[in-house]
Amino acid sequence: MRIKRTTLILGLLFIIWSSILYLSYYHYPAHNNNDIPNKLNKQIVILEQGISEEFAKNNVMIRGAQKILEIKKEREQSQNKLLPKELQNVKIPVLVFACNRITVTRCLDSLIQYRPDPDQFPIIVSQDCDHEETKTAIQKYGNQVSLIQQPDQSDIQVPPKEKKFKGYFKIARHYGWALNQMFFNFNFSTVIIVEDDLDVAPDFFEYFLGMYPILLKDSSLWCISAWNDNGKEGLVDIKRPDLVYRTDFFPGLGWMLTKNVWLDLYKKWPRAYWDDWIRDPLQRKGRSCIRPELSRTRTFGKTGVSNGMFFEKHLKFIKLNEEFVPFTKLNLTYLIKDNYDNDFVKKVYQSPVVKYEDLRMDKVEYDVPVRVTYKTKDEYKTITKKLGLMDDFKSGVPRTAYKGIVTFHYKGRMVHLAPTANWKGYDVAWS
Ligand code: UD1
Ligand code: MN
């Protein structure tokens, strides 16, 4: 179907092109009246030659394009056949949030570039803001993406103190509407959520597809995220793109959500600050997400609703994974809560304790993963600042923490920044 269409388009282009060529050759000389018929004849012969040469060239081009499309289709099909049976027929749409940034094309280009199968991963762009230029840019993708538009563009009443945060109200309204569309109108059972300022990694789709069965199987999980909040170059193990963790901190920024979870959220969906709201214990209910060592997304949204400081100081340093990890072929059952809590958490508390100062000065002698202990909020803040980690909390949960443990890579070794073994849970007063 697509091949036929491409042939047609190329054919049409050719006809247009030849007409232009014809018109430009068909230049009637204004002076010199006597040998007009002769000259004209010559010109027609030249024109005919030109046209047939171009025709031959275009045929070669069309055949080349057909060949490329055939190869791409074959590759997609064989890739699909190689998938484990239970994943072959899974359909997971990617919902892209857009508003008024025409750079959504950068995001769409990277999604389309790495999408193994358009039928398995339909891309649906939901546009807010009624911005014509952005809409036109999205429509240029033709049937590679679908476009839906958030219909309610009415002004939102915002408390005076929060006037400057109106953008967050709009984002929340858009999210609520678009997710309802995905789950209740289009009836999808799982969605990957992407924002218009994200680049994705080559194995972005493979990562989500591989994690999908784990998300369904383990009810203590409520999201799969492509983002590592501490994913800066110097804090990740570049050689371990396969590493994946559980986290109690909702990372967002490229994440997968199921209809089941949405059924729990949509009725009380907030008017603003949806991501902080979702991190509240009332919503999280003790559930965790999966996050990678190496981010599968990176944001290029320097200017947006929040100020650019966070971008300049932090976001722009997040390292995007470049290597393809065949997640759908890996055994990922170690991520299931019982296995993980027995194995990973136990290992953390068996690891030797070191001082963060020694770690910083590279004075640690162990070759194995080590542990740094924190007891108070202030201690946590000091250590993270000194080591260059994110130092903030949301609802008392430090970024990337699992049971209070923040795991990262530092000067060639794995480090667990962990509370004492008698940890009693997160304290929402830590902020
Ligand atoms: C930050 C978060 C973002 C979250 C948002 C809501 C980071 C890096 N980003 O947004 O994940 O969703 O807070 O609390 O932490 N948009 C609309 N309508 C608007 C304005 C924006 O739909 O009126 C869309 C944008 O197209 C984009 C998304 O909302 O897809 C986020 O907007 P952006 O401007 O990137 O805000 P951030 O500050 O990054
Ligand atoms: Mn953004």
pLDDT per residue over 325-361, tens digit each?
999 999 999 999 999 999 999 999 999 999 999 999 9
pLDDT surpasses 50 at 378: yes
DSSP 283-341: HHTT-EEEEESSBSEEE--SSSSS-HHHHHHTGGGBPBP-S---GGGS--GGGSHHHHH
Mean pLDDT of 199-227: 98
Return the higher-pLDDT residue of 191 and 11: 191
Mean pLDDT of 75-79: 58
CB 251 less than 6 A from any atom of ligand 1: no
* H-assigned helices in 83-165: 85-88, 104-114, 132-139
Q: Whose Cα sits closest to atom 23 in ligand 1?
A: 170
- Name the token pair of 287: 């559930």
Please give the Cα distance from 41 to 43 (Å, whole number): 5
pLDDT surpasses 80 at 89: yes
**pLDDT at 12 (0 to 100):** 63
CA of 196 to the centre of ligand 1 (A): 8
CA of 264 to the centre of ligand 2 (A): 25
67-to-6, 71, 74 alpha-carbon distances in Å = 11, 6, 11
pLDDT surpasses 80 at 15: no
Active site members: 275
**pLDDT at 28 (0 to 100):** 43
Return the higher-pLDDT residue of 70 and 348: 348
**Lowest-confidence pick of 18-22, 59-63, 222-226, 230-234:** 18-22
Q: Whose Cα sits closest to atom 35 in ligand 1?
A: 304
Those residues whose C-beta lies under 8 Å from the C-beta of residue 132, and which sit 6 or more positions away, are none
Q: Whose Cα sits closest to atom 29 in ligand 1?
A: 171
pLDDT surpasses 50 at 27: no
Return the higher-pLDDT residue of 31 and 142: 142
Q: What's the pLDDT band for 196 if we cut at 50, 70, 90?
A: very high
**pLDDT at 77 (0 to 100):** 56
CA of 312 to the centre of ligand 1 (A): 16
Task: Judge contact between 71 and 99, C-beta under 8 A.
Answer: no
Q: What's the pLDDT band for 10 if we cut at 50, 70, 90?
A: low
CB 306 less than 6 A from any atom of ligand 1: yes
Q: What's the pLDDT band for 320 if we cut at 50, 70, 90?
A: very high
**Lowest-confidence pick of 79-88, 128-137, 231-240, 416-425:** 79-88
Task: Judge contact between 2 and 46, C-beta under 8 A.
Answer: no
pLDDT surpasses 60 at 411: yes
Mean pLDDT of 157-165: 95
Q: What's the pLDDT band for 29 if we cut at 50, 70, 90?
A: very low
**pLDDT at 114 (0 to 100):** 98
Return the higher-pLDDT residue of 212 and 37: 212
What number of residues does the chain have?
431
CB 165 less than 6 A from any atom of ligand 1: no
**Ligand 1 atom closest to Cα of residue 126:** 22
Mean pLDDT of 195-208: 98
The whole-chain average pLDDT of the chain stands at 91
**pLDDT at 54 (0 to 100):** 78
Task: Judge contact between 206 and 275, C-beta under 8 A.
Answer: no
Ligand number, closest to the Cα atom of 310: 1
pLDDT surpasses 70 at 19: no
Mean pLDDT of 77-98: 85
Q: How does pLDDT run across 303-315, given as a tens digit for each residue?
A: 899 878 899 999 9
CA of 187 to the centre of ligand 1 (A): 25
pLDDT surpasses 90 at 85: no
CB 252 less than 6 A from any atom of ligand 1: yes
CB 169 less than 6 A from any atom of ligand 1: no
Best of 101, 306, 311 for a ligand 1 pocket test (most atoms within 8 Å of beta carbon)? 306
**pLDDT at 22 (0 to 100):** 56
CA of 301 to the centre of ligand 2 (A): 5
CB 314 less than 6 A from any atom of ligand 1: no
Mean pLDDT of 405-414: 97
**Ligand 1 atom closest to Cα of residue 303:** 34
Mean pLDDT of 77-81: 61
pLDDT surpasses 90 at 63: no
Please give the Cα distance from 92 to 212 (Å, whole number): 9
CB 176 less than 6 A from any atom of ligand 1: no
Q: What's the pLDDT band for 31 if we cut at 50, 70, 90?
A: very low
Mean pLDDT of 263-271: 98
Please give the Cα distance from 332 to 143 (Å, whole number): 34
**pLDDT at 232 (0 to 100):** 97
CB 274 less than 6 A from any atom of ligand 1: yes
Question: Would strands 406-410 and 393-394 be described as parallel, antiparallel, or unpaired?
Answer: unpaired
User: pTM for the complete prediction?
Assistant: 0.84
**pLDDT at 41 (0 to 100):** 80
**Ligand 1 atom closest to Cα of residue 104:** 26
CB 380 less than 6 A from any atom of ligand 1: no
Number of H helices, E strands in the chain: 14, 15
CA of 322 to the centre of ligand 2 (A): 21
Ligand number, closest to the Cα atom of 311: 1
The percent of residues in the chain predicted with pLDDT above 70, rounded, is 87
pLDDT surpasses 50 at 30: no
